[in-house]
Structure 1
Amino acid sequence: MKASQAVINILKDWNINHVYGYPGDSVNNLIEGLRKEKDEIRFIQVRHEEVGALAASAEAKLTGNVGVCLSIGGPGAVHLLNGMYDAREDGAPLVVITGQVSHDLVGTDNFQEVNLERMFDDVAVFNKRVTSGELVQPLLKQAFKEATTHKGVAVLSIPDDVFEETVKEDKLRSTVQSNYRYFPDKEDLKNAAKLLQNAKKPLILAGKGALNAREELEVFAEKIAAPVIVSLRAKGVLPDEHPYNLGNLGQIGTKPSYEAMDETDLLILVGTGFPYRDFLPDDVPAIQIDVDPAKIGKWYPTEVGLIGDSAEILARFNEQLFRTEDRYFLEACQKNMANWWEHMDKIANIEEGKALQGPHVMHELNDFVEDNAILSVDVGNVTSWFAGFFRMTNQDFVVSSWLATMGCGLPGAIAAKLKHPEKQVWAICGDGGFSMGMQDFLTAVKYDLPINIVVFNNEKIGMIKYEQEQMGNIPYQTDLQTMNYAAFAEICGGKGYKVTTKEELRHAYADAATNNKPTIIDVDIQERAPLPGKIEWSQAKSYSKHMWKKLMEGEGNFDMPPLKTVMKRLF
């Protein structure tokens, strides 16, 4: 058989049912093989390779299985890098196949030749160039193994002429996995149990690694009377209005989570690599649970490190620990959180006729998202609005959490709908993030993917504007030109809604939730800073500096608000 068929056989072996990419000269022989197998493996032609890589990364995050993308060498391979780094940073297994100039021309500075091994060296856990047809099978099998084992990016660069070589079928299966697991030492478990039993104000910080331990986490929190704070990627590990949930931490966090972190006498880190040290206690003992030994103590000094699966370790504690009777700290946090929800409801509710803001748009969405829906959230102010004002129940969501790359919302929604066509899928995007890859709305139309995209349109790169202000600077080059994304949706063959009022917003949500077309809801919003749950004095001081600088330099038509108004904005 041809080497291209050997590639396809291995994709089937790994249950890959679609590949994201863009055809071209250095992969055309593989594309021909995919054409012949289109009933079993769909080639999803994106309009930009970056979108293909981001979609494959999002699929891997949602499923835990390997995502696959494909491009030509040279410029196509360069375009893949952003999605590859997104996968690396979020621990998503990704296999990337790129073309290359003919193997007898490699190194001659030929047309579109790029040193792909050097370019991919930083991002990949496995990075090889195939020099003959006989190497295609063993190297591609190894690529899948490495991506799966290390939860990272594996790359094969294959010259197009190699795909045409005749090879013998390799009968060895590539999908066999060894069943192994880590479990903590008995002495470590005993020391952790002592800390748990002696703590008066235990606090859990749960991350992505706790998503497979929802039930165990809930029982554990109840047993030791500990409130739970979640990282962004772990939003939904407990329903947002669960009595033990204090919401997110940090710039997108709640005031109760900040204050609980300030009061705790024992921090329990469950499957998280939360990197923002400023939001963690100064000197509090910590227990850390993580499946990766390298993560123990990496971002916060750990008293006891427990290496293993979160669900198994929490289940062991649930069997052995007595129920804590002193629940004063938990109950105080719960009262604090109840007050927080009241505060957030006041912000989110809007009278008819008033201009919409980010919190209003996100809050209204709660009424229309199904319980098992998937949300793909872009990066920017919308991340803050989502964290604070969308109340997850059993939904799942995907985001670029560590790389935090703008433009991830649409690719994530495309991947979610392809993988779960039976589920409702929403993309939550700012106008800045959406416009970075909006051409691939055409991909959703082409493949008849009824995704709903909400564009928060304030004609600004809002988070960057706020960051510049927070530094004490006058915002510069953060304005975006006017664009009607609803009209764009209609031109592409989808459905578009232009929204300026609450009534129009609810009508658009209701229709989008039931229609069967790719849809853009373009919502005009008034500017609002995505203020964190707790304002530090340094932030207030810098914002005041920005206001004073703007006044002194006479930027635009600026009326200095009274001090009371400034302080109200901040606090």
Structure 2
Amino acid sequence: MFDRTAGSHVVELLKQWNIEHIYGMPGDSINELMEELRKVDIRFIQIRHEETGALAASAYSKLTGRIGVCLSIAGPGAIHLQNGLYDAKKDKTPVLAIVGQVTSSSVGTDTFQELQLESMFEDVSVYNRRAQNAEQLPDMLNQAVRAAYAEKGPAVLVVSDDLFSTKIKREKEMTSPEYSVPHIRAAEEDLNEALELLEAAEKPVILAGKGAQGASGEVLAFSEKLKAPVIASLPAKGLIPDDHPNNLGQLGQLGTEPAEQAMKHADLVILAGTAYPYREYLPEQAQAIQIDIDPRVIGKYYPATVGAVGELGPALAWLTSKLGEQDPAFLEQYQEKRSAWHDKLRADIDKQTDVLQPQQVLGEVQRIMERDAVVSLDVGSITIWTAKYLQLTGQKLVLSSWLGTMGCGLPGAIAAKLAYPERQAIAIVGDGGFSMGMQDFVTAVKYKLPMIIVIFNNQKLQLIEDEQKMAGNKPTNVELANIDFAAFAIACGGEGYTVKTRTDLQEALSKAKASNQPVVIDAYVEDISAVL
């Protein structure tokens, strides 16, 4: 393996890691890597802002479990990555950022666009290194990807561009492009202690988190055997079908009344793959079983009577097999409350109003949403409306959960369409969130990524207004200047529709569903609160 550039080894290893596409923007400190990427069949998605690339890489990883990859130049491009990388860190998903740097002979001279990138990325990353010479590059890439998978977070590899074009002799490989997924089983003694609490409980409630991914069948079987209602954290929405009679919905500000009531009256809480942080929505005093693959979160936000460290599916399957018959009275009580709550939601959706309301728009989205669709949800009042009114029964949901960054809806939809080209991709966004990164709608057009973007346009930061009111303050600076989003979509080469009535909305959604282009539906909605 003589007379090959370090960059050629890097792109070969990227392929061996099964990386199919990279988000980025070319520039003067990554041009040599771009030359190597040009020669291989890794798809380069040219975004218009590096933040979009990092958010899309994070969303891709959340959706697929595979590492997402983004690329930036030194200086300003590297800075732009930070928001998306923090999203990946907070939501514990593997992302690789390859970041250019000034030429190796100029590092440390305070030259144009030089920043201390290792210091800048230290907090956000699980791996953060700068290659000192070209010979290190292949092995450092393997280390970075493996660390991202193992520690579920962003790995940052900083490389001066001249190193990519340097020819190296790689006679002895130190590392390999392999990651072995650990399979962790909870200790039987912990499960036996949990079983004792389950057998004694009269009002058990299951709070399932994103740890239920890949274990939704075990969660439901456990719920049915225990005769316990299930509440799903927002990141777990869709993992537990919303139409299951035991599913009470979400908890907290964006939750349902039955979920809140059941949790308040619970005598045992089973935290199933979640470190739910909002203590005020959990019982004042109740015993708790917490099952999680990460020992650091056991008892982190709620005192765990029993903690079991391991994968959720096998742990719940063991408990289900050991449980005896349970009293269904508590579950049946809340199934009735759930039914009444869903009747109320349906009445809200079906009611006739002069101005479109958010829940009515979601009702129409529900009608055209396909069973295996991917829904990318932005942050703001739209998050609360969607959590309450959109029913997911097999669809995938992607959002910025712990960081809660606005502007994640469009990057998520781009990632969804690249991850699952044959599936319907729907972005549900507010006018504030969409306008934070709307320039990359043209990216969806350029790469022919059909998607439906529904903008809830009330010319306001509604949730911020609500927060200001709840703090006892007079709302200030929450009004947004209006944008003709439909005209913008058309100007980018996509389709755009402005809707102000239910009939207009139905027609636009029907056209969008049949289209092979990215579509923006600018839905004017009444500025009513989702929480007050």
What TM-score bracket applies, with the shorter chain setting the length? over 0.9
> How far does the alpha carbon of each residue in 1:330-378 deviate from its partner, in whole angstroms, 9 at most, with x for none?
0111111111111112222232x62101111112211100000000000
Deviation at 1:323, TM superposition (A): 2.7
* Cα deviation digits, residues 166-211 of structure 1 (max 9, x gap): 1124656633333532222222111110100010000000000012
CA deviations over 1:227-246 (Å, ceiling 9, x no partner): 00000000012211210000
Q: Distance in 2 between matches of 1:521 and 1:116?
A: 40
| Unaligned stretches of 5+ residues in structure 1 | 532-569
- What secondary structure sits across from 1:323 in the alignment? coil
Q: Alpha-carbon deviations, 1:35-81, whole Å to 9, x = none?
A: 121xx201100000000000000000000011000000100000000
2:134 matched residue in structure 1: 133
Partner residue, 2:351: 350
After superposition, the Cα gap between the structure-2 partners of 1:179 and 1:208, relative to the gap in structure 1 and judged at 3 Å, is closer
Cα shift at 1:385: 1.1
CA distance in 2 between counterparts of 1:357 and 1:365 reads 13
The answer for the alignment partner of 1:537 in structure 2 is none
Distance 1:179 1:231, change over 3 A: closer
Q: Is it true that 1:2 corresponds to 2:8 in the alignment? A: no
* CA displacement 1:452-481 (0-9 Å, x = unmatched): 100000000111111111111111111111
Q: Does the CA contact (< 8 Å) of 1:88 and 1:153 recur in 2?
A: yes
SS in 2 for 1:268: strand
2: CA distance, partners of 1:416 / 1:323: 42
Letter in 2 for 1:455: I
Secondary structure, counterpart of 2:71 in structure 1:
strand
TM-score using structure 2 length: 0.98
Query: Within 2, Cα distance between the matches of 1:3 and 1:231?
Result: 45
Cα distance in 1 for residues equivalent to 2:63 and 2:180: 23
Please name the residue that 1:413 is paired with.
Answer: 413
User: Which residue does 1:525 correspond to in 2?
Assistant: 525
Query: Aligned letter for 1:310?
Result: L
1:476-519 deviation per Cα after TM superposition (whole angstroms, max 9, x unaligned): 11111111101111111000010000000111111111111110
SS at match of 2:258: helix
In structure 2, the partner of 1:261 is 263
Residue number in structure 2 paired with 1:22: 25
Counterpart of 1:436? 436
What are the equivalent positions in structure 2 for 1:421-432 lying under 5 Å apart?
421-432=421-432
**Deviation by residue 1:391-441 (Cα, 9 ceiling, x = unmatched):** 111000100000000000000000110111100000000000000000000
d(CA) in 2 for partners of 1:225, 1:232: 22
Alpha carbons 2:413, 2:451 under 8 Å: kept? yes
Name the residue aligned to 1:536.
none
Where do residues 474-485 of structure 1 align in structure 2 (5 Å cutoff)? 474-485=474-485
CA distance in 2, matches of 1:369, 1:160: 45
Contact 2:211 2:312 in 1 (8 A): yes
Distance 2:319 2:174 in 1: 42
Partners of 2:184 and 2:310 within 8 A in 1: yes
* Structure 2 partner of 1:80: 81
Partner of 1:277: 279
Q: Could you say what secondary structure the match of 1:99 adopts?
A: strand
Whether the aligned pair in 2 keeps the contact of 1:3 and 1:162 (CA below 8 Å) is yes
Partner residue, 1:559: none
Confirm or deny: 8 A CA contact 2:71 2:98 kept in the other structure: yes
2:196 maps to which of 194, 197, 216? 194
Residues 208 and 272, structure 1, Cα contact 8 Å, conserved in 2:
yes
Over the matched positions of the two proteins, sequence identity in percent amounts to 50
Q: What is the identity, as a one-letter code, of the residue corresponding to 1:106? A: V
CA distance in 1, matches of 2:364, 2:243: 16
- Paired residues of 2:11 and 2:36 also in contact (CA < 8 A): yes
Change (3 A) 1:290 1:431: same
Whole-angstrom CA distance in 2 between matches of 1:210 and 1:418: 24
- TM-score of the aligned structures, taking structure 1 as reference length: 0.91
* Counterparts of 2:361 and 2:385, CA distance in 1: 9
1:230 aligns with 2:255: no
Rounded Cα–Cα distance in structure 2 between residues aligned with 1:131 and 1:303: 49
Q: CA RMSD in A?
A: 1.0
Partner Cα separation in structure 1 for residue 114 and residue 238 of structure 2: 45
For 1:375, the equivalent position in structure 2 comes to 375
Aligned to 1:104: 105
- The code of the aligned residue for 2:22 comes to V
Determine if contact 2:371/2:394 at 8 Å carries over to the other structure: yes
The equivalent residue for 1:456 is: 456
Matches within 5 A, 1:245-394: 245-324=247-326, 326-351=327-352, 354-394=354-394
Which moved further from structure 2: 501-510 or 339-348? 339-348
| Cross-structure match for 2:35 | 32
Separation in structure 2 between the aligned mates of residue 323 and residue 506 of structure 1, nearest angstrom = 48
Contact 2:139/2:173, CA 8 A, preserved across alignment: no
1:566 is matched with which residue?
Answer: none
After superposition, the Cα gap between the structure-2 partners of 1:36 and 1:232, relative to the gap in structure 1 and judged at 3 Å, is same
Q: Which amino acid aligns with 1:80?
A: L
Give the aligned partner of residue 546 of structure 1.
Answer: none
8 Å contact from structure 1 (residues 265, 284) kept in 2: yes
Distance in 1 of aligned mates of 2:323 and 2:482: 59
Q: Which residue of the partner structure matches residue 502 of structure 1?
A: 502
Displacement after TM superposition at 1:131 (Å): 1.1
Question: How many angstroms apart in 1 are the aligned matches of 2:351 and 2:187?
Answer: 54
Aligned partners of 2:87, 2:479: CA distance in 1, in Å? 26
Q: Secondary structure at the match of 1:187?
A: helix
Secondary structure in 1 aligned to 2:325?
coil
Q: What amino acid sits opposite 1:134 in the alignment?
A: E
- Any idea what SS the aligned residue of 2:139 has? helix
2-structure distance, mates of 1:176, 1:109 = 37
Q: Tell whether the 8 Å contact from 2:226 to 2:320 is kept in structure 1 after alignment.
A: no
Q: Deviation at 1:3?
A: 1.1
Q: CA, structure 1 residues 135+173, in 2 after alignment: closer, same or farther (shift >3 Å)? A: closer
SS at match of 1:247: coil
Paired with 1:174 and 1:367, the residues of 2 have a C-alpha distance of 48
Instruction: Say if 2:14 is the partner of 1:11.
Output: yes
Match of 1:429, SS state, is strand
**Separation in 2 of the partners of 1:340 and 1:110?**
62
Aligned partner of 1:416: which letter?
A: A
Report the secondary structure of 1:330's partner residue. helix
Separation in structure 2 between the aligned mates of residue 44 and residue 129 of structure 1, nearest angstrom: 24
* Structure 2 Cα separation of the partners of residues 161 and 485 of structure 1: 42
Structure 1 equivalent of residue 513 of structure 2: 513
One-letter code of the match for 2:154? V
Cα distance, 1:107 vs structure 2: 1.1
Distance, in Å, in 2 between the alignment partners of 1:176 and 1:42 is 21
CA distance in 2 between partners of 1:318 and 1:300 (Å): 24
In the alignment, the residues of structure 2 paired with residue 156 and residue 177 of structure 1 have an alpha-carbon distance, to the nearest angstrom, of 18
- Report the Cα offset of residue 259 of structure 1: 0.4
Matches of 2:96 and 2:107, distance apart in 1: 22
